[in-house]
Amino acid sequence: MTEHPSELRYTIEHEWVRVEGDGNATIGVTFFAQDQLGDVVYIVLPAVGSTLQAGARMGEIESVKSVSDLFVPVSGEVLETNQDVLDHPERVNEDPHGAGWMLRVRMSDPSEVDRLLTNEQYDSAIAS
């Protein structure tokens, strides 16, 4: 049983993307990532309004044990960052694919999503 829902797409760097009804993308980190990191205690995210290229470093996520870079899976403009997750980084552990979301992006090239991993591809990638 996978912890990674089929309606999301994934990167090998452990971000997920959900394409919303309005065509914008919501981005977060995966169940597997938060489980590996342990207790998340600090998150740095890009400024609202900034424009990012897919694959660019967009911030960092810090747990008690380690710090990791976050990479943006799709190109576009940052519409919103999740203030609740910035104030309460433990949301990432509690609900990584829901309340632990990090940012919403207006995609400049929605076809980029098709190149991301499916949940099955992601699960086999982390299993190897």
x/- mask, another protein, residues 61-80, rule CB under 8 A, reads -x-xx-x-------------
Chosen residue from 60, 84, 94, 109 binding another protein by CB under 8 A: 60
How many angstroms from the chain centroid is the CA of residue 21? 18
Which residue lies nearer to another protein by CB, 39 or 109?
Answer: 39
Chosen residue from 2, 3, 39, 56 binding another protein by CB under 8 A: 39
38 binds another protein (CB under 8 A): yes
Q: How far is CA 61 from CA 28, 57, 85, 107, in A?
A: 11, 11, 11, 23
Q: What is the DSSP string of 97-128?
A: TTTT--EEEEES-GGGGGGSBPHHHHHHHHH-
**Which residues here bind another protein, judged by CB under 8 A?**
38-39, 41-42, 44, 60, 62, 64-65, 67, 93
